[in-house]
Structure 1
Amino acid sequence: MIALVAAACIAVGACAVEDAAEKRGPSPRSEAPPTEAERRAARLLSLSNNSTLDAKTDPYDRAVLCTVAIEAVQQRLTEAIGMSAEQKQAMAAARGVYQRRAAAAATGARDIRADAERMRTENEDPNQMMRTGVACLRQLA
């Protein structure tokens, strides 16, 4: 299953960020360690830095948000470039992981479907949903 999730991550292109930096070669400042300001800027620009996801401290809310975000990633990729059956299967497997996590973390009278719809409404920015979905996929890789 990890291989399927990794394939989904690669389909999004999020895993290639480090490779691009390696291909460019050493930076002119490679001998000096980065400053705190440089580290902070790198964290802010990182695909794995996702304030929407980080704001969700409850495991249930995080799992529901990841389910919705991965669904949004799959929908946008399918519309933009299409996805192979293997890629769709990988996305479904990743969504399944988060759906199971949501079910396990649900307490009381929580309605996962209603909460997923609420998350879709609260997070209407498609670009932010893509970043959130990529962050969720990276957590599984």
Structure 2
Amino acid sequence: MPILPEAADDIKRIENAARQAQISVRGAVSIQVYGLNRLALVQERTRLLRKLEFLGSLVLDLSAVADNLENMEVAEKDLPSRAYAVARIRATVSRALAEIRNLAKPDAPFSAMVRSWIEVFKADAGAPTTSPSAPLGWTAEPINEVIRT
């Protein structure tokens, strides 16, 4: 069981640093007391965030590709091929979203962090973009509907 630091000055220093950084004092003290900044934990959280960023970009990019492909003019004979390609892309997006949802389950490691990431992702995905790589008319409302925690 973790032991609180003996010197009150240490807690006060942590409290002051947290206030200056405008973060939760309780959280900062908990991180220090429970040793949540141990290298292995930091590396695991970083690995998980990288995985979430990869899955998130995969969802957005593949959704945009499917949307563009669906709106593309093709010859009548190519309609079944286009429909198949769009369905496969959307299935891959669904698998990526399912993986994100699994990472947010209460029994998953760092699930609170994942749920926070999802909220930011949903907000960002629904926001208008000025990026030249975003297709014209692209919207991400379906992403907000699909990710539910």
Coarse TM-score class (shorter-chain normalised)? 0.3 to 0.5
Asked which structure has the greater CA Rg, the reply is 2
TM-score, scaled relative to structure 1:
0.34
TM-score, scaled relative to structure 2:
0.33
Q: With a CA cutoff of 8 Å and minimum separation of 6, indicate the structure with the bigger relative contact order.
A: 1
